[in-house]
Amino acid sequence: MIAARLHAVGDLRVADEPPPGDPPAGWSLLAVTSVGICGSDLHWFTDGGIGENRIERPVVPGHEFAAVALTGPHAGRRVAVDPAIACRSCEMCRMGHENLCPTVRFAGHGTLDGAMQEHLVWPDHLLYPLPDDVSDDAGALLEPLGVALHAVAVSHLRPGADVLVVGAGPIGALTVQVARRQGAARVFVSEPLEHRRDTALRSGADAAFSDEHGADEVLEATGGRGVDVVLEVAGTDAAIATAVAASRPGGRIALAGIPSQDDSAFPAAVARRKGLTFAMVRRMNDTYPRAIAMAAGGVDLDLLVTERHPLSEAAKAFGSAAERRGDKVMVAVSASS
C-alpha cells in the first residue's frame, strides 16, 4: 500500500509499505478515503513536534479522517474516525474525560501512525457510521467540528452572550457556526487573513476584523463593554492579548489554539483587573454523535475545503497548507475495498 511518512521537519515521503495485518479483536481494518491537514499537523511538519513531543521516528501524519470499514461491525459502511485512543480505565477516563487521559494515543502524534496511508486498523468503538448526505471530506472534518464543540462547551457560552473568536482558520470558522447555534447574540471574529475573514462571515459571523485593531473594534461594537466569551483558536501571544483586551470584566476566555512554543504569555495586569477566567481546551470529548447530527442538520463542513490533493502529492498538500492560502487542505486517499 501507499503511505506518506514524516521523517523530519519538512521531510514527508510517499512510498510503498506493507499493509497492516489482520486486526485484533475489537478493531477493524479501514480503507481511508479523506484526510484533512490540521494546524497541529503543520506543527509536526514545520516545527518537528508540539511542545515537548518531538518526532521520535518517522510517523504517518493525519488525524482528521474518514474511511470505509472493511471488517468489523461496520463492514462495508463509510465511517468517521475518532483519532484518540484513550485507555478507558484511568481516573480521567472513568470520570468521562477521555480527552484528559494521561496515556491517550493520538493518530499521527508521537509514535502512533495516522491516516495518510491507504489502510490501517482502528478500534471499533471509535468508528461512527456516516449518513449518506455527509461527504467523505465532511466526515473527516467532524474532528475539527468536535474541537469547536468542545471549545464552546468549555467556554460556558450562554444564549444571548456576545462572543469573539480569535483566529478564523477552519476550527475558528467552525467555532463561529457552533457559537451561533448555541444561541450567541453576536459573534465577532479577529483574523489577519482577508480570505479567512470572508469565510468567517459566510460561516455566520456578524463582523470580522483584522488583528491589528480587532480588540478596539470589538469594544466599539459592544459600546465599550467587551464580549462575554472569547474563544481563542490562533495559538499566539498576540491572540491571547486580543482576547484579554476585548473581554468584559468577569469574562471567560477559552484557549484552544496550539502555540509553537512551550510557553504562552498574556497581559496579566489587565486580566487580573478584569477578573478574567481562562479555560484550557484539550482536543475534544465524546463529540462525534453531536458533530454528525450538526453536519447532517446544516453545519457546512464542505464550505471549508479549498484544496484537494491525492496521497501521492501529500508533501505538496502540506506545503500549501503551511502557506495558509486557503482554508482546509484535504488529501484524497485512493483506497479500494
Mind listing the pLDDT tens digit for each residue in 68-103?
999 999 999 999 999 999 999 999 999 999 999 999
Q: Could you list the beta-strand ranges (E) of the chain.
A: 2-8, 11-16, 27-36, 49-50, 53-54, 64-69, 78-81, 84-85, 105-106, 119-123, 127-129, 162-166, 186-190, 207-209, 227-232, 247-255, 277-280, 305-310, 328-332
207 is written with which cell numbers? 463582523
Helix (H) or strand (E) holding 133: none
What pLDDT shows up at residue 336? 39
Whole-model pTM: value is: 0.95
Q: Give the residue-averaged pLDDT of 185-204.
A: 96
Residue 280 to residues 164, 254, 269, 304, 322, Cα–Cα distance (Å): 16, 6, 20, 25, 25
Grid cell digits, residue 169: 482558520
- Determine contact, residues 240/271, Cβ cutoff 8 Å: no
Give 110's pLDDT tier (boundaries 50, 70, 90).
Answer: confident
Q: Strand pairing partners for 127?
A: 81
CA distance 34 to 223: 45
